[in-house]
Amino acid sequence: MRHFIFVCPNTHLNVQHSLDEEDNTDQNEFTAVSCPACTRLHFLSRKTGQLLGADSSPKN
């Protein structure tokens, strides 16, 4: 099981989530995650844990 922490784009809170590990997962494969911080759905990359549409560069 892989554990991810992502920032909810609505509340800006850190959210922890776990996904089953799959070695043959494509880089562009996303799964819907119910966010406990805002109760909405976010799409999380199964490979990287990155949110769909999130900027990959760090914010200053």
User: What are the pLDDT digits (tens) for 29-47?
Assistant: 999 999 999 999 999 988 8
Asked if 15 and 41 count as a contact pair (C-beta separation under 8 A), the reply is no
Q: Which is higher by pLDDT, 12 or 59?
A: 12
Task: State pTM to two decimals.
Answer: 0.75
In a domain, residue 17? The reply is yes
How many CB atoms neighbour CB 35 within 10 A?
19
Q: Specify if 18 maps to a domain.
A: yes
Say whether pLDDT at 60 is over 70: no
- Spatial distance between the Cα atoms of 60 and 23, rounded to a whole number of angstroms: 33
Structural domain boundaries enclosing 37:
2-45
- Structurally, how many domains does the chain consist of? 1
What is the residue-averaged pLDDT of the chain?
85
